[in-house]
Structures are given as structure tokens and as C-alpha cells.
């Protein structure tokens, strides 16, 4: 049978019952995983049979399920199977909508955009991160850059995409754009990892320009917030290189020196005051008024992880 005949036969077997047809199409996508034309047609067919409000959530689930099933089969196979699903996802995504991955992103969106623009709580971020990684792993570097740029636009309060985008700008030599992007990223960093990432990228920027004292200040701030052992090790190695490459003898920067450098280059030396204020207020609200422990824990953890705030710690301990 030709591809067209196979696709027609599968379409003829659809019952009109979404609950039956979707599992059937998923099984056929898996059966024809090695045939790009059929895979793509079936992914689009799956999108077409769904009610509009279900299309994106179901396709995101399909992507995650497929990713799990092929995770041991290498990047080439994963790309072949996931690409048609991603194409279907990209077709129904609205470029005029901001996609929100978790509750605090929603708060940030309202704070920054003040009611302007439309937001939708759909976790497309992890799917885009996986797809960008697959594009790079399969040698499609320009396509990966394009997907990253789109993901950053679609997820404007997701600091991970902003950091990846800034890193790409730095790698490509767009230094002014890099600085603008990093400065715009600090106000949406509500985890130690993303905050440390901003400082680490600044450290690279300064080091590349042989501004070693400034680089050391940025890396010192990165270490202050970085908790992941592997990333801490990378930063410590970068600091060693700064000392080795500098023609002048450097000493560990004082807090006053770090503040002066941060003021000169217009970047903060810690988390956003607004982020801490919102997180604390919501955490206390959900603990004392709404009596929703999981929500209180979510917000108070943001505060504690970024600051070590004792009151947040006491409140977290009382929720256990």
C-alpha cells in the first residue's frame, strides 16, 4: 500500500468518538514511527478530531508520552517521532498569547504586563526545551535558534528561555543585545538556579572582554545563589580561569566592590524585591487565610530558597 492509501484507510477507521479515536491514532503513530509522511499526517489528524479547547493539552501529553517511550533510542529516533507532534503543536499555538508554566509566572505576568495581553496556563516550556535540545543534537542549529526565539516570545516570564536566549546572543557576539536581555531577565528570576545563571552569563561576558575584576564579581554572586553541585563546580572552575588569565593580581571582591560594579553595569546584586514581596504575601495568605498548605509551601519556598528568610523557614516547618 502507498502512504496515501494507508493514511486513507486509517482515516476511514475513525469512529467519530474522540475517546476511541485518539488512542487508535496514537497506536498508529507508534506503528508508523519510521515513516515521516504518515507520522505527520496522523499527528495532524489527531489534532483535527479534538475539541479546540483540548487540542493543546492532548498534544502536549502526546509529546511527553512519546518522549518517554523513545528516551532510550537516541536523539535521531526521538526527533523522528516527536517532530510531527511538535509541528501540530506549533500550528495551534497562538503567537499573541503568553503561555504560563507555573503559578508564580502568572503573578509575574500580571505584575509586568498589568492586564495587557492574554495569558494561558499551558506548560509548553518543557516541551520546547526538549525539542530545542533535539534539534541541536541532530545538527539543526539554526532551527534550534529559531525555536528558542519563538519559545522566549511565547513564554515571556520564563527565565530559563531568557537565559538560553541570552547565552546564544553572547555566543554569537551580539553583546549589547545580550546585556539588554540579561537585564530584562533578572526581574523574572524566582529560583536560585536562574538567578545564579544570570550572574554566570555576566561572568562570561566580562571575562570575554578581559574585564576580570567585573567577571570575578559576577561569578561570586553566582556562587552565592547556585545550589546545584555540578553548576557550582563549573562556576568555581570559571573563577580559577579568571585568576589565571588576569594580568593584575586579583583578590576576592568585597560586597562594596560588587555593589559598585553592579551599579556601573546596571544589574542587581540579588533577587527582585517585588518577587520576594509577592511570594511572601501569597505564601502567608494561603497559610493563614485560605488554609491551603501546598500553595503556601510553594510560595514560601520561593522566598526561603532565595533569601534563607527565617520567618519563611518557620512557616515552612509548621506546614510539615
What confidence tens digit (pLDDT) does each residue in 20-52 have? 888 888 888 878 877 878 887 888 788 788 777
8 Å CB contact between 163 and 197: yes
More confident residue, 297 or 63: 297
**pLDDT value of residue 123:** 87
First to last CA, the chain: 61
At 262 the pLDDT is: 97
Task: Write down the pTM of the prediction.
Answer: 0.86
E strand or H helix at 276: helix 273-288
DSSP class of residue 247 equals S
More confidently predicted of 312 and 39: 312
Asked if residue 256 has pLDDT above 90, the reply is: yes
Residue 30, pLDDT score: 79
Percent of the chain exceeding pLDDT 70 equals 100
What was the pLDDT predicted at 34?
A: 75
Angle between helices 273-288 and 310-319 (to 10 degrees): 30
What is the C-alpha separation between 320 and 308, in angstroms, rounded? 18
Judged by average pLDDT, the poorest of 59-73, 117-131, 274-288 is 59-73
The grid coordinates listed for 158 are 520564563
Tell me, what's the pLDDT at 181?
A: 97
Which DSSP category does 252 fall into? P
Residue 1: which pLDDT band, with cuts at 50, 70 and 90?
A: confident
Q: Which three cell numbers stand for residue 180?
A: 539588554
Cα 47 to chain centroid distance, Å, stands at: 25
Q: Residue 148 has what pLDDT?
A: 96
- Nearest residue to 196 via CA among 182, 176, 177: 182
Higher local confidence (pLDDT), 43 or 303: 303
Helix axes 74-92, 18-31, angle to 10 degrees: 150
Q: What's the Rg (C-alpha) of the chain?
A: 23
Range in 33-47, 74-88, 93-107, 149-163 the model is least confident about: 33-47
- Cell numbers placing 115: 492586564
Q: What single-letter DSSP state applies at residue 115? A: T
What is the pLDDT, as a whole number, of residue 69? 76
pLDDT band at residue 73 under the 50/70/90 scheme: confident
Predicted confidence (pLDDT) at residue 276 exceeds the cutoff of 90: yes
In this predicted structure, the answer to whether residue 199 has a pLDDT above a threshold of 80 is yes
Q: How far is CA 263 from the centre of its chain?
A: 28
Residue 212: pLDDT band (50, 70, 90) is very high
Write down the pLDDT at residue 114: 80
Q: What is the pLDDT of residue 50?
A: 75
As a whole number, the mean pLDDT across the chain is 91
Comparing 39-53, 195-209, 245-259, the range with the smallest average pLDDT is 39-53
Percent of the chain scoring above 90 in pLDDT = 67
Amino acid at each position: 500500500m502507498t502512504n496515501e492509501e494507508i493514511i486513507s484507510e486509517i482515516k476511514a477507521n475513525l469512529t467519530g468518538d474522540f475517546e476511541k479515536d485518539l488512542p487508535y491514532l496514537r497506536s498508529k503513530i507508534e506503528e508508523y514511527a519510521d515513516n515521516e509522511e504518515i507520522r505527520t499526517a496522523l499527528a495532524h489528524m489527531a489534532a483535527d478530531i479534538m475539541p479546540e479547547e483540548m487540542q493543546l493539552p492532548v498534544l502536549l501529553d502526546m509529546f511527553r508520552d512519546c518522549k518517554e517511550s523513545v528516551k532510550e533510542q537516541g536523539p535521531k529516533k526521538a526527533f523522528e517521532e516527536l517532530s510531527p507532534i511538535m509541528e501540530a503543536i506549533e500550528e495551534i499555538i497562538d503567537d499573541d498569547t503568553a503561555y504560563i508554566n507555573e503559578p508564580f509566572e502568572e503573578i509575574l505576568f500580571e505584575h509586568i504586563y498589568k492586564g495587557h495581553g492574554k495569558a494561558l496556563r499551558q506548560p509548553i516550556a518543557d516541551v520546547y526545551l526538549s525539542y530545542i535540545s533535539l534539534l541541536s543534537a541532530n545538527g539543526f542549529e539554526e532551527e534550534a535558534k529559531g525555536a528558542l526565539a519563538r519559545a522566549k516570545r511565547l513564554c515571556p516570564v520564563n527565565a530559563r528561555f531568557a537565559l538560553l536566549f541570552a547565552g546564544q546572543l553572547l555566543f554569537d557576539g551580539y553583546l549589547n543585545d545580550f546585556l539588554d536581555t540579561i537585564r530584562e531577565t533578572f526581574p523574572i528570576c524566582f529560583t536560585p538556579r536562574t538567578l545564579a545563571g544570570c550572574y554566570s552569563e555576566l561572568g562570561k561576558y566580562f571575562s570575554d572582554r578581559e574585564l576580570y575584576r567585573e567577571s570575578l564579581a559576577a561569578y561570586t554572586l553566582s556562587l552565592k545563589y547556585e545550589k546545584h553541585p555540578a553548576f557550582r563546580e563549573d562556576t568555581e572552575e570559571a573563577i580559577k580561569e579568571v585568576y589565571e588569565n588576569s594580568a593584575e593580581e586579583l583578590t576576592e571582591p568585597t560586597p562594596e566592590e560588587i555593589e559598585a560594579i553592579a551599579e556601573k553595569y546596571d544589574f542587581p546584586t540579588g533577587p527582585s524585591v517585588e518577587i520576594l514581596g509577592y511570594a511572601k504575601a501569597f505564601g502567608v495568605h494561603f497559610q493563614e487565610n485560605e488554609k491551603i498548605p501546598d500553595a503556601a509551601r510553594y510560595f514560601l519556598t520561593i522566598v526561603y530558597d532565595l533569601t534563607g528568610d527565617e520567618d519563611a523557614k518557620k512557616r515552612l516547618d509548621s506546614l510539615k
